[in-house]
Amino acid sequence: MLSGKRIVVTGGTGSLGKVLVRRLLSGELGRPSKIIVFSRDEAKQHTMRLAYQRRETATDEVIYHNFEELLQFQIGDIRDYHSVSAVLRNADVVFNAAALKQVPTCEYFPYEAVQTNISGAENIVRVIREHQLPVETVVGVSTDKACKPVNVMGMTKAIQERIIIRANLDCPNTRFICVRYGNVLASRGSVIPLFHYQIRRGGPVTVTTREMTRFLLSLEQAVDTIFAAVKYGERGETYIPRVPSARVVDVAEVLIGDRPIQTLISGIRPGEKVHEILVSEEEAYRTIERGDYYAILPMLPELRGTASLETPLTKEYSSADDVMSKPELAKLLGQNHLLVEDQPAFEDALVA
């Protein structure tokens, strides 16, 4: 599938990007000829490079043979057309994991989210179209917040999805597909590391509302979804994992366990939903089952065709539909080594 391919991972130093790179290097989809981590943070690239070279510290010599390595690092900004053009010129497959993804940050700095999440995706499409690059596949990484969005992060991701799917019309030799999923357990900036920190400090643990639910999946499941889309996705499709959901207050209580720690209801944050949606009611009629996943067929009739559909969904796919019990949630967190006892001291966690 990816044997001999030249792969670009934008945002490759992020939580998802690092797991994606590790899985690509494992060869489970074939051995690529080149994997390029494209991002603008030289410090994170340096740390990631040292990890793969199994070195604790180094000076500039680690970069000297960068372009000869299987895993290559390239500084650049998804917002800049010219740096995107430079990194894509020899690419076969592109995974766009670059994003501004924290909801409050995007609310306070909306145009920054526009530039990364919307203009960044448009730069990828524009470079492939204008230079007629022989890129085979582009995978856009999206979020459940793009489904009926109420916050800036979701709005910009929703537009990103449309830009990527529509690109199939302008670049007929490139397959543009998307993946959309919910909260990734313990990713940078997510709620579980915050809960760990609050618990180790003795509380209180802050929960927005008692009713709030979220889809939960591990970073490995997120990459599984990306790989499933690469293997089976048709042009213009959006892949959705079928994953469990939980009440956020139950996550907090399972992590607290029998510790004498208070749970504080802090109120919903700007731009948050009580429940998230992975497939909207309007999308349900063009959603099909594909193994352990749903695939949303493209809205544009030129891409979808006229074949009749047998959809498993009769309504929206919401995080409120099938909520895990606390024992089920404890098992999930334990399997992913996310219980507080498995974590480093909070001083170390803040640095990680």
192, 223 Cβ separation under 8 angstroms: no
> Among 5, 101, 145, 157, which one carries the catalytic annotation?
145
- 49 burial via Cβ count (<10 Å: 0-12, 13-18, 19+): buried
The DSSP code for 89 is: T
What tokens does 67 get? 């372009």
| Farthest CA pair distance, the chain | 62
H or E element that contains 317: strand 317-318
| CA 254 to chain CA mean position, Å | 25
Cα-based angle 211, 205, 207 (whole degrees, multiple of 5): 20
H or E element that contains 226: helix 219-232
CA 271, CA 320: separation in Å to the nearest integer? Answer: 18
124, 138 Cβ separation under 8 angstroms: yes
- 242 burial via Cβ count (<10 Å: 0-12, 13-18, 19+): middle
- 110 burial via Cβ count (<10 Å: 0-12, 13-18, 19+): middle
3-state secondary structure of 292: coil
**Range 122-134 burial, b when 16+ CB lie within 10 A, else e:** bbbbbbbeeeebe
CA 30, CA 334: separation in Å to the nearest integer? Answer: 31
What tokens does 281 get? 């009611």
Q: 326 an active-site residue? A: no
**Which residues are catalytically annotated?**
145
